[in-house]
Structure 1
């Protein structure tokens, strides 16, 4: 990105837990062609896919720390780039989490990956979904409950029972494709993949071609949600390589 492009690009900040698949964000920034700067800062805690640990990971104190780190980038909006660390709070609790994050970010618009899934499904007119979760069953069920509160019906729910985000981040591209494709359901309008620790962006177009339906993945919808918050979706052209969500009318 040239200096002039950097000056013109909108800046969105992402709080990412630990390290796993954060390279999806510079990949997305490249595909966006200089229209946005996607700043990523990290917070740290245990990476276990277990409810008590996830509640701690998404706590107000940890997210305030992340917002403080992002202040250097002066983002126009902030997104908590973690699905399980947001839906684990439930529908109402996740709203409170986002409100606290906005306050910690100086009143900037804020959201999380869990809300990004609901809004992306709404934008595409998706009503029924299959969920290809990497989590254990109890955590995956909480995501299905969250989607239901958002008006999205889960007609197929599967869990790979992977205990840590680090393990998810080490999955090969072939493993990721098989995990997702094998969890499709005939009655699903789309397949949802709720883990920001999973590298998916470079695989979405191929998956959609194979399945014949939209595939919404955690890092994909998180980037989309950040752009939505700053109004960048209204004027942006379609973006090849990031799936149906980024090719829809209005992009």
Structure 2
């Protein structure tokens, strides 16, 4: 892991599910020669439900602000709201306001996983994408709308109907591979798996070999976005096409 003096991006992570992806990602980056810390602080999510009303409360300015001072104690230079659904659920403009408020509260550059996906798709040069979501269909459809607002063409979208992050966090390699395969589309130039509750850090090369195209997962793009905010790109093929320069 990186020394305590290394640059750091802090993550506000909702509840407990796949937070162990972050030390795993830090270790993979360290193996690639990156000198960066990825401290994570858990937020109080209220109700664990992929339901619009619960997600709006989960991503409220109050809940995020409650943990800002804690994450700043890690001497971070940027902060990212590590949640897709409780950012895109606010819509494009609402998600921008969420990030503006987080940045103002933290007095640091800020972003969220939803914008991480939008920026990552642009960085790959992918015009057409497929969404393989753990969420119910109505929530996944809101992510489709968010990506369209970012200028992406969504050629297919598949929801899995999973209500809680806790359940998603129990999925292993085979379930994640099946999710990606089921959500792929021949016309898609990249496949997106938008849920930070989903473990994926250890399997990104497997996912891309299986599908034969870039795969973007929530925790992967969230960390990439943090490095982007730090102005510290990293060449790390072990984390897929997005990290391969």
Q: TM-score, normalised by structure 2?
A: 0.96
Cα RMSD after superposing both structures = 1.0
For residue 116 of structure 1, report the CA deviation from its aligned partner.
Answer: 0.2
Find the counterpart in structure 1 of residue 51 from structure 2: 50
User: For this pair of structures, how many residues does the alignment match?
Assistant: 241
Find the counterpart in structure 2 of residue 30 from structure 1: 27
For residue 75 of structure 1, report the CA deviation from its aligned partner.
Answer: 0.7
Find the counterpart in structure 2 of residue 81 from structure 1: 82
Find the counterpart in structure 2 of residue 240 from structure 1: 237
For residue 180 of structure 1, report the CA deviation from its aligned partner.
Answer: 1.2
1:103-156 Cα deviation digits (max 9, x unpaired): 111x20000000000000000101111100000011000000000000111101
Moved more, 192-201 or 32-41: 32-41
1:11 corresponds, among 5, 8, 11, to 8
1:18-50 Cα deviation digits (max 9, x unpaired): 000001100010011151100100012211000
What does 1:1-251 correspond to in 2, within 5 Å? 1=1, 5-7=3-5, 9-33=6-30, 34-44=34-44, 45-105=46-106, 107-233=107-233, 236=234, 238-247=235-244, 249=245
Runs of 5+ unmatched residues, structure 2? none
Moved more, 127-136 or 60-69: 60-69
1:196-216 Cα deviation digits (max 9, x unpaired): 000011111011011110000
For residue 240 of structure 1, report the CA deviation from its aligned partner.
Answer: 3.1
State the distance in 2 between where 1:53 and 1:83 align. Answer: 13
Runs of 5+ unmatched residues, structure 1? none
3-state SS, counterpart of residue 130 of structure 1: strand
3-state SS, counterpart of residue 241 of structure 1: helix
